[in-house]
Amino acid sequence: MTPSDIFFPDIITKHQSADIPLDGVKSHLVQAGKQQFIFMQFDNDVEVPEHFHEAQWGVVLGGEIELTIAGKRNILKKGDTYYIDKDVKHSAKIKKGYSDLTLFNQPDRYIVKK
């Protein structure tokens, strides 16, 4: 059993994985009309380079992330939420053990992993 299998119950893990190009991430994609919910669990430290896309909202379920939004550095832990508006540049340093639920305001941010 993996950490994400233990952390997320069957109601979540029954959903397909999203194809996210980061090492050590496990994900479960829930398609919701023109938006996507992604449950993520990180088994490695990961750095996500600066990028931008449609609006994104998330809630930290466990662990820690350093999220830089429009040049402002934020340290987020369990229970914290964040919002990134459309086209705002952001980057992240994600620590091993981090997990979250993220809502992307676009229907095709990620595809189902094959």
Distances (CA, A) of 53 to 35, 63, 88: 13, 24, 7
Q: 3-class DSSP state for residue 90?
A: strand
| Number of residues that this document lists for the chain | 114
Contact 39, 12 (CB under 8 A): yes
Q: Mean of the pLDDT values across residues 83-89?
A: 98
How much is the pTM? Answer: 0.91
Q: Where do the domains of the chain lie, and which CATH numbers do they carry?
A: 3-104 (2.60.120.10)
What secondary structure does DSSP assign to 32-70, as a single string? ETTEEEEEEEESS-EEEEEE--S-EEEEEEESEEEEEET
The per-residue pLDDT for 56 is 98
Query: What would the pLDDT profile of 20-59 be if each residue is shown by its tens digit?
Result: 999 999 999 999 999 999 999 999 999 999 999 999 999 9
